Structure 1
Amino acid sequence: MNDINEETPAASFVPGGRRRHRRAKQGGNGMRRAMVLAMAVPVVSVALTGPSAFAADKGIGTTAKDTTADQATGLDADDQQMVTNLETRVLDQRLGSDVSGVVLDAESDATLWGHNAATALMPASNVKLATSTAALTVLGPDHRFTTKVVYGHGTLTLIGGGDRTLTTADLAELAKTAVAGLKAAGLTSVKVAVDDSLFPEPTLANGWNTGYYPDSVSPVRALVVDGHLVDDTSLDAGQVFAKQLLTDGITVAGDVTRATASRTDVPVARHTSAPLSDIVHTMLKTSDNNIAETLLRMTALGAGRPATFDGGTEVVRQVLSTRYGVSLANFEMYDGSGLSRADRIPAATLAEILELLTQPRYASTLGSILDGLPVSGEAGSTLGPEWGRFDDANSKCAVGKVHAKTGTLTGAIALSGLTQGKDGKWKVFSFIENNSTANPNDIKDAMDGLAATVNGCWA
């Protein structure tokens, strides 16, 4: 990967004061929010709603240091100890000097601690939090993606519908249905084409380079099977489909080609994906770049925009700012996965997005985001032991207690999520570092330690 781009000049403020939002609090709102988290996280089912408490009253002109000092006298003993420890541990040499962080109290709407919280840094895969929020809001958690097969003029055409979770087994079922129809019509030979015209021809996002293909991400197309990392996922899927036809006794004439299905073609078979909520869950647990980029395009289409990087990121911005009141100050997003080295998001903004997960009114829409956050020590997720996370003397006490999205690029590591503090209250946190020269594993250990500090187990 390329070296990190020059950093965007940072604004001088962090969210300051004991209140981040001037809205009148309804009786028991904080308690209800705490109950939502307490009930939801253990069973992997969560709630969310309401404009972010971070959306207003941000204390412009206040520095991170000033904010912490001003609040210190209002903190209880546990929070004061956490703040004191964070002030020291954020200076860990492994994290380098370009570090941004913030901790919020989900119940009281208080900003407990901030360190360069409004500084826009490269967030890596933490971008997927914004992508997920927009996708679930625009499309709905129950939305499903449809892959179709149509027949016309001697050709079966496989039509991509933006399902990045399509499998060989799914194509086998589509082929079986298609073969039954062909044989009923007395046909034993057919041509095969693929139609991926739902998305325009793939391009590179601002901040991408061709070295990403196909291992980090494939060129974004509307048709893919088994998540294959190949340059042309559509033709690859068509070839898998053709093999299934051969297995079922149909001769495939010629090579698989790309074509646009005709409106007069006859529908033959269709497959619908799992609901979007399940797909988001999988995408976040494993930090799947390809799913994220496909969701960005499908979100754009769902909002009536072109299925492009620009169309998708425009919708993300509108959803965050207009629907949820999230501040976009210093926010720069150019893709859906966070692979772009031009992406810049402050820790404060990531915390705003995550704070939505603590609000009950958004539960039915955004719940799968909290469900999908990797859990410290969870095998099979990006916070699992196979990635060396939460396994050192300082952070292993937090295994099973931190729910957070990871982010890793050359020159950028991030960790943003939620944990229940020593006082039993839920905290929202975000930490980002750029440009540290330490070993990436050492950087992650230091960042896991910050999360353990917020949890309070590393006191």
Structure 2
Amino acid sequence: MRLLTVFIIFFSSLISVTVQAALEKPHFPSSDILPAGTRVGLMAKSPSSTLLYQNNDQLFPPASTLKLFTALAAKIELGDDYRYITTLEQKGQDIMLRFSGDPSLTSTDIAQLLKNAKISQIKGNLIIDNSAYTGYEKGVGWPWDILGVCYSTPSSAITIDGNCVMGSIYTNADGSTRAFVPDFQPIDLTTSAVSVSRKQQKEQYCDLELSTSPSNQYHLSGCLVKREQPLPLNFAVQNAFLYASSKLEHLLKDQNIRLAGTIKLSQNGLTNTKVLAKHQSEPLPVLLDHMLKDSDNSYANNLTKTIGAHYFKQAGSFANGTQAIKAILKKNAKVDLSNAILEDGSGLSRNNRVSPNQIYDLLKFIKANDHKLDFIRLMPTSGIDGTLEYRSSMRKPPVQGQIVAKSGSLFATHNMAGFVLNEKGVPTTMFVQLVTDYFPGKNTSNIPPITQFEQAFYQNLIKATVEK
């Protein structure tokens, strides 16, 4: 009898350990956490589990997880030594500034170019060369109502200071508003918006609205709730040539360089020129680190066009850039995007579609080859940096610091793709989370459903990753 008792106790303990271990395998949270109608695609694979998947072959809007595809294609096609080069060149009496699409180029960089060229006057014209890219500067499927804000700045070879300008709006005591733009920002900002109470704004269904023009004119209308401090605003440049022309006029004046002719745009560039000075960007990994951690759309879209130009030996565009990304990843990483829809390289287009399978294949290649790629370190870390520093589901233990991933957010879309770190800090478990058609109703909890879903998902992945 005593032996039987010991056996029962041992057997019960074994079952308990087995059940506990099973619970620590990756499992997907119940979709009941999310509002009815939400579409979810999930994949996960820990070292001790089989591949788990849900709706893995369906197509979803990738949002900014698409930047992972762009970044890997850039590393493969351009290489880590790649740098954008912007040059100041001369032919006869004309000076040409040849833009390359460098998304990191600043006014300070151009000022240094002018100094290095050691010119005191331009006897002819100053020509701005825009031939590096062709085609649309705005991606197919970019919503019209966000084209005036900086995260949707047009993708142009002519890029200075991110083609993003600052401004602000103040509310006045008489119910009017006033707009302000620093003198060094060459845009025109006006306002007819009225300042109202929060109650009035709600009753009138009146929000602050922005309209733009191709001549870099911006107008604010609608309503703004009364505030003590100005509301800071950032605007996407609508005409890169006009913007660059105004910038160059200021820079020439600052350096006392006299321009006899005018500033002109060239789509073809000059040939047989003499290079007076050149500026190099930081190498590709530095650009990708910024692009992935800060989810910079301008970097991603310009890199897409640069990839297309490099791969097809022609001016870059969204069309040849996205096609090049597909071809490069299929040949070199065995990631088949033949049925995916790519309209840009940033994920901003609402037309983009990829499947969890395709993202998982990308992660699998990155993980297997990271000793050569040095890619994973460029991605944000949960609760530590980049777009994951303040993500609600990731800024506190046990998730904080345990996940390296790329997020992606659009209207009604909440995505994540990346790796869970083991106890040694090594990327181990791979996962894909694509959530779309997410329309939460009135929430009885202080925690949004998407945050509850992610917390359950990632806490379980972490347990599964560190289990012995």
TM-score normalised by L of structure 1: 0.73
Equivalent residue in structure 2 for 1:225, among 153, 160, 179 = 160
> Is 1:81 paired with 2:23?
yes
Equivalent residue in structure 2 for 1:192, among 126, 129, 139 = 126
Instruction: Letter of the 2:305 partner, please give it.
Output: R
Aligned partner of 2:354 in structure 1 is 345
The Cα shift of 1:315 comes to 1.2
Distance 2:92 2:448 in 1: 57
Deviation per CA, 1:76-103, whole angstroms, max 9, x where unpaired? 877732446x333444225853000001
Distance 2:163 2:399 in 1: 35
The DSSP-based 3-state class of the residue aligned with 2:337 is coil
The Cα shift of 1:231 comes to 1.2
1:203-218 to 2 correspondences below 5 Å: 203-215=137-149, 216-218=151-153
Instruction: Letter of the 2:98 partner, please give it.
Output: I
Instruction: Letter of the 1:419 partner, please give it.
Output: V
Instruction: Letter of the 2:140 partner, please give it.
Output: N
1:128-143 to 2 correspondences below 5 Å: 128-143=67-82
Aligned partner of 2:257 in structure 1 is 250
The Cα shift of 1:451 comes to 2.3
Deviation per CA, 1:341-362, whole angstroms, max 9, x where unpaired? 11111112111111222224x5
Instruction: Letter of the 2:402 partner, please give it.
Output: K
Distance 1:428 1:79 in 2: 19
> Is 1:236 paired with 2:243?
yes
> Is 1:101 paired with 2:49?
no
Larger radius of gyration: 2
Aligned partner of 1:417 in structure 2 is 418
Tell whether the 8 Å contact from 1:167 to 1:225 is kept in structure 2 after alignment. Answer: yes
The DSSP-based 3-state class of the residue aligned with 2:153 is coil
Distance 1:163 1:292 in 2: 11
Tell whether the 8 Å contact from 2:100 to 2:158 is kept in structure 1 after alignment. Answer: yes
Tell whether the 8 Å contact from 2:309 to 2:317 is kept in structure 1 after alignment. Answer: no
The DSSP-based 3-state class of the residue aligned with 2:86 is strand
The Cα shift of 1:223 comes to 1.9
The Cα shift of 1:305 comes to 5.3
- Unmatched segments (≥5 aa) in structure 1: 1-75
The DSSP-based 3-state class of the residue aligned with 1:206 is coil
RMSD value over aligned CA atoms?
Answer: 3.0
Task: Report how many aligned residue pairs link the two structures.
Answer: 370
Tell whether the 8 Å contact from 2:77 to 2:307 is kept in structure 1 after alignment. Answer: yes
The DSSP-based 3-state class of the residue aligned with 1:143 is coil
Aligned partner of 2:63 in structure 1 is 124
Deviation per CA, 1:344-397, whole angstroms, max 9, x where unpaired? 11112111111222224x533x32x31221111124x11112x54524xxx641
Tell whether the 8 Å contact from 1:422 to 1:455 is kept in structure 2 after alignment. Answer: no
Tell whether the 8 Å contact from 1:357 to 1:363 is kept in structure 2 after alignment. Answer: no
Distance 1:78 1:234 in 2: 63
The DSSP-based 3-state class of the residue aligned with 2:89 is strand
Instruction: Letter of the 1:384 partner, please give it.
Output: E
Aligned partner of 1:358 in structure 2 is 367
Distance 1:161 1:441 in 2: 44
Equivalent residue in structure 1 for 2:394, among 390, 403, 419 = 390
Aligned partner of 2:437 in structure 1 is 435
Distance 2:255 2:103 in 1: 25
Instruction: Letter of the 1:271 partner, please give it.
Output: H
The DSSP-based 3-state class of the residue aligned with 2:387 is coil
Tell whether the 8 Å contact from 1:422 to 1:457 is kept in structure 2 after alignment. Answer: no
Distance 1:154 1:388 in 2: 58
Higher strand share: 2
1:45-84 to 2 correspondences below 5 Å: 80-83=22-25
> Is 1:281 paired with 2:289?
yes
The Cα shift of 1:189 comes to 5.7
The Cα shift of 1:219 comes to 1.9
Equivalent residue in structure 2 for 1:308, among 302, 310, 317 = 317
